Chains A and B, each alone.
Chain A
Amino acid sequence: MITICKNLLNKKTTPAEHIAKAQDALILAEASLRRGELPPGDYIISYHGKKKNADNWGMTYPESLGKLYGKNSIYISRMDGQKVFESAKGNKSKHVSIMTEFPTLKDHYTYGNTL
Chain B
Amino acid sequence: MRYSDKVNDHFNNPRNVGSMDREDPSVGTGIVGAPACGDVMQLQLKINDQGIIEDAKFKTFGCGSAIASSSLITTMVKGRHFKDAESLRNVDIASELELPPHKIHCSVLAEDAIKEAIKNYKEKIAANNR
Asked whether A79 is an interface residue with its Cβ less than 8 Å from the other chain, the reply is no
Query: What residues of A have a CB within 8 angstroms of the CB of B33 in the complex?
Result: 31
Residues of A close to B35: CB separation below 8 A: 28, 31-32, 37, 102, 104
The answer for the CA separation of A104 and B39 in the assembled complex, in Å, is: 9
Given the known A-B contacts A24-B59, A104-B61, are A31 and B40 also in contact in the complex, defined by CB atoms under 8 Å? yes
Asked whether any CB of chain B lies closer than 8 Å to the CB of A23, the reply is yes
Partner of B34, one of A23, A27, A31: A31
The reply to whether the CB of B118 lies closer than 8 angstroms to some CB of chain A is no
- A54 CB to closest chain B CB (Å) equals 16
Q: Which B residues are in CB contact (< 8 Å) with A23? A: 19
**For window 67-115 of chain A, which residues contact chain B by CB distance below 8 Å?**
102, 104, 107-108
CA A34 – CA B38 in complex, angstroms?
15
Residue among A23, A27, A34, A35 having the largest count of chain B Cβ atoms under 10 Å: A27
Assess whether B36 is in contact with A30, with CB atoms less than 8 Å apart.
Answer: no
Question: Number of A residues contacting the other chain (C-beta, 8 Å)?
Answer: 14
Additional 9 contacts, C-beta under 8 A, given A23-B19, A104-B61? A28-B61, A30-B31, A31-B31, A31-B34, A31-B40, A32-B35, A32-B36, A35-B34, A104-B35
Determine the chain A residues whose CB is within 8 A of the CB of B19 once the complex forms: 23
Q: Point out the residues of chain B lying under 8 angstroms from A30, CB to CB.
A: 31
B32 in contact (CB, < 8 A):
yes
Q: Does the CB pair A27–B36 fall under 8 Å?
A: no
Closest A-B pairs by Cβ, 4 of them? A31-B40, A104-B61, A27-B42, A28-B35
Total A-B residue contacts, Cβ distance less than 8 Å: 34
> What is the bound-complex CA distance between A30 and B44, given in angstroms?
14
Q: For chain B, what secondary structure do more than half of its interface residues adopt (helix, strand, loop), or is it mixed?
A: strand
Query: Number of B interface residues, CB 8 Å?
Result: 12
The CA-CA distance from A106 to B55 in the complex, in Å, is 29
> CA of A72 to CA of B14 in the docked complex: distance in angstroms?
30
5 contacts between A and B (CB under 8 A): A23-B19, A31-B33, A32-B35, A32-B36, A102-B35
Report the separation of the CA atoms of residues A28 and B34 in the bound assembly, to the nearest whole angstrom: 8
* B61 / chain A contacts, CB cutoff of 8 Å: 24, 27-28, 104, 107-108
Nearest chain A CB to B66's CB is how many angstroms away?
11
**What chain B residues lie within 8 Å of A31 (beta carbons)?**
31-35, 40
